[in-house]
A and B are shown apart, each in its own frame.
Chain A
Amino acid sequence: MSAAATTALPAAAPAAVPEPRASRAPLWLILPAVMLFVGIVLVPLAMTVLLSFHDWGQYKGIEPVLTLKNWQEIATDPYYAEMFGRTLRIALITTLVTALLGTPEAYILNRMSGRWRGLFLLLILGPLLISVVARTLGWALLFGGANGLANKLLMSLGLIASPLPFLFTETGVVIALVHVMMPFMVLSVWAALQRLDPQVEHAAMSLGAGPLTIIRRIVLPQVMPGVLSGAIIVFSLSASAFATPAIIGGRRLKVAATLAYDEFLNTLNWPLGAAVAVLLLVGLILIVVGANALVERRYAEVFR
């Protein structure tokens, strides 16, 4: 779970004119980092792609031959379609809920006075840096069967008659994931709100717009790029989340990440696990790149 995954990079300052004698400086400044990345990111990734085409057997282990066996299994066995479908569904619902709750919250935060805003920003963004295991453990405690606090609360409020199952259900996974992902969404919308000219709301007001009209016609269209880029981050992190589905979903409710983990560390069918991981990676890259392109094209006219 990585923080602030795809926030736009700050534009680099116009390159300073280098002193002549230092004109070869960039090479030895950058080369170590490039070698590090080629050696420890690109090579392992390439090896993993290759691994997904290897054969495996219970007794013979990994056989370094080229075969489409793993990919055929994923394409034909409905188990994998169901698992990837579940992964996609959980990620989509999580994204939707985070956007629906996080956007208004960011707006409310932005309207608070300085001191309160700082405090609540710390409380809401802070969990981002707290161990996902600790946070998910909290949800496991809250859900914990019929005796879970969440059920006790809902029942004492009279909202439900009998305990709802949260643990080992998709609902539970989504609720915990929404909690884990929410800071990304708030942060993204918050950043978009910071770019808003504060006089614009006054301008709309002076032209006769009421508060709801201002939100709908003036604020929302301008922060939409922030909501969408937050949604892209949340989606890609939810679809590849491991800790939360593993702890809340348990062993039966498999998603892509937990399945890859099982194949590698329990079944020891590394080629199949590699195929699942590669499929997850390629699928996510396609979705994220496609969504980014759509967002950029949609808003190119307005926001360069």
Chain B
Amino acid sequence: MTTPSRSAAPLLELDRVAKAFGSHVAVEDFNLAVAPGEFISFLGPSGCGKTTTLQMIAGFLAPSRGTIRLEGRDLTSVHPSKRGLGIVFQSYALFPHMNAAENVAFGLEMQRIGKAERTERVRAALAMVGLAAYEDRHPRRMSGGQQQRVALARALVIRPSMLLLDEPLSNLDAKLREEMQIELRQIQRNLGTTTILVTHDQTEALSLSDRIVVMSKGRIEQIGTPQDTYERPASAFVAQFLGKTNDFAARIEGGSPARIVAGGWSAPAPVGLRGPVTISVRPERIGFAETGLPARVAARIFQGNHWLFQCETECGPAIVVRPNDGAGQPGEGETVRLAWRPEDMSLSAGAAA
């Protein structure tokens, strides 16, 4: 797995980093170079090693193998309190006995920054997250969203070389989470702070990141832009984890040129493949057409801005999503034909699982 080359020297490098707890391998062979200003997400299910990796960067865990370099400097022997990273914790970890302003000021006090400058920067940081009026408020008297903002201000006010976010939005309700995503993205763009976000929420990763690191069972499955990972998943795991996908059992039929055939649907086959293959297509990339894979609509579900169809085909079950654009839609029990563009599918050898 190689990362796309960047023009600037990387800010953070992880070189074959691994972490084992006893015999359990939490992270294995982790390689990543983060460019200045980049927004990276570590995405994966719980237990995939994403938080462990973040804790190694922060210094709360020591890697079993490999090196982590920040601005070219080996971090191995640098104490967490000397790394100068801004961290937002899943629980926010605000100091409950200090009010918002005292929380934000703490990091500046540790840097022995004078009172005048401190007050000024604390005020600016709280204003940036929209909490200018909440300086005297204690964390327990703030909503989850407000606490989140204080935690963000506290991490950013020290002007960290990097911002590490550990599932920062997972404790917020859906609507607030969406608002915070937009705000987080804006603040990050404005400040240009290099950021790593740990999340299990694919939407969050897709909407915020420059690049996504998809992880599973301690290994990197794919590194790429949100579009790349979504459109061209490097593995079945990535395809399944990032959005829904349909797997159709198909085969390559000989002759020249060879064709790939799934029931009544066919397209020119890429060279090199033979025999049974699996076609993966996103539900929203399948349309109803005059010709194509015959399917029976088993269920039709209205979901507001789109329709969802569960279909049965000779190549396996299919889920189709069509926008609710006012056009007539096939009803349950009707027979339709499914079609998609060859560039919207990915192929793998062997029969569908």
Contacts and interface: CB of A to CB of B under 8 A. Distances in A.
Interface of A: 197, 199-200, 202-210, 213, 217-218, 221-222, 301-304
A302 B158 contact: no
Given A202-B60, A207-B158, A210-B81, A222 B107 contact: no
Contacts of B97: 221-222, 302
Contacts of B110: 207-209, 213
Contacts of A217: 106
A203 B81 CA distance: 9
Given A205-B80, A208-B111, A222-B97, A199 B158 contact: no
A209 B81 contact: yes
B81 A200 contact: no
B58 A301 contact: no
Interface stretch (B84-92, B202-210, B341-349): B84-92
B85 A204 contact: no
Given A209-B81, A209-B106, A302-B138, A204 B95 contact: yes
Given A204-B106, A207-B110, A208-B111, A199 B91 contact: yes
B95 A206 contact: no
B140 A200 contact: no
Contacts, number: 69
B93 A303 contact: no
Contact of A199 (B90, B96, B111): B90
12 contacts: A199-B89, A200-B94, A202-B80, A203-B95, A205-B79, A205-B81, A207-B106, A208-B82, A210-B81, A302-B138, A303-B96, A303-B140
B96 A206 contact: no
Interface residues of B, number: 28
Contact of A202 (B82, B93, B107, B158): B93
The interface centre, meaning the residue of A204, A221, A303 with most chain B CB atoms within 10 A of its CB, is A204
A208 B107 contact: yes
A304 B158 CA distance: 30
B80 A200 contact: no
A218 B82 CA distance: 18
A302 B94 CA distance: 12
A202 B87 contact: yes
Interface in B83-142: 83-87, 89-91, 93-97, 106-107, 110-111, 138, 140
Contacts of B80: 202, 205-206
Contacts of B81: 205-210
Name the 6 nearest CB pairs between A and B, nearest first: A207-B107, A208-B110, A199-B93, A203-B93, A221-B97, A206-B87
